[in-house]
Structure 1
């Protein structure tokens, strides 16, 4: 089938990451014909830059306006249209669907959630005055939800340890042999500086890998430079592609992630993590985090449960870091169970079955 995915980028990386991973899953795993129309091609191309050329060449990446402005080569009517995260389709593109001899299915692809109420709305019709069939599709962790994106399934961290991506070799050469590794990718509102200062009070060598932009956020340079504790080493990594970032997550002992795509990849890496969920004014993010923790901690004992909740709510590391080994074992078990539940192919495969 032919798929059109519409992606409007809100927070720079997460929206583009999900749309790109979905496109390549549909194309490479399920041999679907996929186009992405995006309002921020530079960001999307950065995310996709490390993908194997044989995969990338089968996905048609287009600017947003190409969906309706190319009069000489009109866009062929797709079988399925994805409104990623509920973005509105361009009116002129939608007008073209009205007159198409065969109408497509429109999928309103919602944000990932573990909240129980999504099961009541997942797959339900959204009647439209124009008569084109439209449905809600909710990604989720439960068997009855829309699934998560699992492509590519990450290899074991030990297996991939030697395959250092070229863009990361310089940074990796500076890592200390016996130090723990923590990667950091969070929103500006996180108490990161205070968190790192507390981390430095622990009697343990720790290498902290800062993703693009975090060094400036911490004021590592200039008169207000961050004074590093002796056991802490901060290293900035360059902006890397999606696959290269997946690799980083697999090689760290602990990861701080944000948004949706890195949140899922942190779980598939089988490592402990903090999910810095996107803050919302009505505090809806707290409900979403609590719903995820209800699922994530279902098999955890009380001591580990309290430690993980503390970490996820930005309690200082000295309060819970001693539970990291137990958390690591638990995270590996969670990864195993997650992949087992997504054994039907996850989000891409469930979308395909739903629309076929």
Structure 2
């Protein structure tokens, strides 16, 4: 089938990351014909860089305007249109769908949530005045929702020297072999200065890998540079592709992630992590976080539950860091659980079956 995916980038990386991962899964795993129309091609292309050219060349990446401004060569009507995260389709593109002899199916791909109400709305019709069939599709963890994007499943195990991605080889050669590794990709509101100072006071050797631009974003080296003892060292990562970032998560002992795509990748890395969920004014993010933790910690001991909840709500590392070993075992078991629950192929496979 022919698929058109529309992606308007709100959160710089997360929206584009989900759309790209969905496109590559549909194309490489399910043999679908996929186009992406995106309003920020530089970001999308950066995330897609480093991918096997045989995978990338199968996906037609186009600017947003190309969906409706190419008058001489109008866009062919697809079988499926995906509105990622409820973005509105361009009016002229929608008009072309009205007059098409065979109408496509429109999928409103919603945000990921572990909240119980999601299963009540997943797959439900969303009647439109124009008559083109449209349905809600909710990604999620339960069996009766849309599933998770799995492709590619990240590596697990010790570092193999010749597997270090080219863009990270220079950085990796400077890391200390006797130090723990923590990657950080968070929003500006995180209390990172205080968090790092508290971590340093624990006395362990830790190498901190800051996502591209984070040192400047969080003003760690600005007018009042952060002062840390020698046991804690900060390293700024270059901008890396989606696959390279997945690899980084798999090679760290602990990860701080944000958004939707990196949230799932941290779980698939099988390592303890903090999900810095995007803060919302109505505090809806707190409900979403609590719903996830109810699932994530359902089989955990009371001590681990308290430690994990403390970490996820930005308690200082001194309150929970000594639980890292048992948390690591739990994270590996959770990864195995996720892969078993998504054994039907996850979101891309469920979406293809839903359309059929």
> Scaled by the length of structure 2, what TM-score is found?
0.99
Matched residue, 2:10: 10
Do residues 180 (structure 1) and 206 (structure 2) align? Answer: no
Post-superposition CA distance 1:34-74 (Å, at most 9, x none)? 00000000000001011110000000000001000001111
With 88-97 and 148-157 compared, the bigger mean Cα shift is at 148-157
Do residues 355 (structure 1) and 355 (structure 2) align? Answer: yes
Contact 2:36–2:60 (CA<8 Å) still a contact in 1?
yes
With 227-236 and 15-24 compared, the bigger mean Cα shift is at 227-236
TM superposition shift of 1:154: 1.2
Do residues 57 (structure 1) and 57 (structure 2) align? Answer: yes
Matched residue, 1:251: 251
Equivalent residue runs for 1:142-153 within 5 Å:
142-153=142-153
Matched residue, 2:29: 29
TM superposition shift of 1:322: 0.0
Post-superposition CA distance 1:75-112 (Å, at most 9, x none)? 00000000000000000000000000110000000000
Contact 1:257–1:266 (CA<8 Å) still a contact in 2?
yes
Contact 2:205–2:232 (CA<8 Å) still a contact in 1?
yes
Runs of 4+ residues deviating >4 angstroms:
159-162
Q: 1:349 to 1:278 in 2, by over 3 A?
A: same
The runs of 5 or more residues in structure 2 that have no matched partner are none
Equivalent residue runs for 1:278-317 within 5 Å:
278-317=278-317
Matched residue, 1:105: 105
TM superposition shift of 1:299: 0.5
Q: Using the alignment, how far apart are the partners of 1:334 and 1:51 within structure 2?
A: 27
Matched residue, 2:273: 273
TM superposition shift of 1:222: 4.6
Matched residue, 2:42: 42
Matched residue, 1:168: 168
Q: 1:159 to 1:232 in 2, by over 3 A?
A: closer
Contact 2:188–2:218 (CA<8 Å) still a contact in 1?
no
Contact 1:2–1:78 (CA<8 Å) still a contact in 2?
yes
Q: Using the alignment, how far apart are the partners of 2:33 and 2:190 within structure 1?
A: 40
Q: Using the alignment, how far apart are the partners of 1:278 and 1:33 within structure 2?
A: 33
Instruction: State the number of aligned residues.
Output: 356
Contact 1:256–1:274 (CA<8 Å) still a contact in 2?
yes
Contact 1:40–1:63 (CA<8 Å) still a contact in 2?
yes
1:157 is paired with a residue of what secondary structure?
coil
Q: Using the alignment, how far apart are the partners of 2:164 and 2:282 within structure 1?
A: 42
TM superposition shift of 1:162: 4.2
Contact 1:146–1:347 (CA<8 Å) still a contact in 2?
yes
Q: Using the alignment, how far apart are the partners of 1:115 and 1:31 within structure 2?
A: 32
2:68 is paired with a residue of what secondary structure?
helix
2:136 is paired with a residue of what secondary structure?
strand
> Scaled by the length of structure 1, what TM-score is found?
0.99
TM superposition shift of 1:161: 5.9
Do residues 155 (structure 1) and 155 (structure 2) align? Answer: yes
Q: Using the alignment, how far apart are the partners of 2:222 and 2:122 within structure 1?
A: 51
Matched residue, 1:133: 133
Equivalent residue runs for 1:327-338 within 5 Å:
327-338=327-338
Contact 2:104–2:132 (CA<8 Å) still a contact in 1?
yes
Post-superposition CA distance 1:183-221 (Å, at most 9, x none)? 000000111111001110012100000011111134343
TM superposition shift of 1:223: 3.7
Q: 1:323 to 1:13 in 2, by over 3 A?
A: same
The runs of 5 or more residues in structure 1 that have no matched partner are none
Contact 2:193–2:220 (CA<8 Å) still a contact in 1?
no
Post-superposition CA distance 1:226-252 (Å, at most 9, x none)? 112221000001000000000000000
Q: Using the alignment, how far apart are the partners of 2:308 and 2:73 within structure 1?
A: 54
TM superposition shift of 1:160: 5.3
Q: Using the alignment, how far apart are the partners of 1:209 and 1:161 within structure 2?
A: 18
TM superposition shift of 1:7: 0.1
> What RMSD in Å do the two structures reach over aligned CA positions?
0.9
